[in-house]
Amino acid sequence: DIVLTQTPLSLPVTPGEPASISCRSSQSLLDSDDGNTYLDWFLQKPGQSPQLLIYTLSYRAPGVPDRFSGRGSGTDFTLKISRVEPEDVGVYYCMQRMEFPYTFGQGTKLDLK
């Protein structure tokens, strides 16, 4: 199975400040057949189901604010929040869907300072 390793696991952030979460994969997530990188980001707010933020490396899901961005290549990926808002609190997960079984990172808990 592909292993995803997220850092940090805990991220206290001052509202209005930027934040960054790293996700490293044990294998490349670049599909050489179609050129897509199959790495997605989800946010699970307290008491809620996960919600999609970013798919296929860098595409924002509908309704996701443009302060969220995804980047990276091959095996190293980053989710960036340009200015953290109070509603961004929760646990962030990366997920690979390059090959079955799809796998998730351990999660990064973002809270406010």
Contact positions vs other proteins (CB under 8 A): 1, 40, 42, 44, 49-52, 55-56, 59, 61, 91, 93, 95, 97, 100-107
Nearest residue (CB) to other proteins, 16 versus 33: 33
Q: How far is the CB of 43 from other proteins (least distance, A)?
A: 11
Q: How far is the CB of 63 from other proteins (least distance, A)?
A: 10
Nearest residue (CB) to other proteins, 16 versus 49: 49
Q: How far is the CB of 59 from other proteins (least distance, A)?
A: 7
Place of tokens 């609190």: 89
Contact 105, 6 (CB under 8 A): yes
How far is residue 96's CA from residue 6's CA, in Å, rounded to a whole number? 12
Q: What angle do CA 25, 23, 88 make, to 5 degrees?
A: 150
Nearest residue (CB) to other proteins, 17 versus 43: 43
Q: Which of 6, 4, 17, 7 is CA-nearest to residue 88?
A: 17
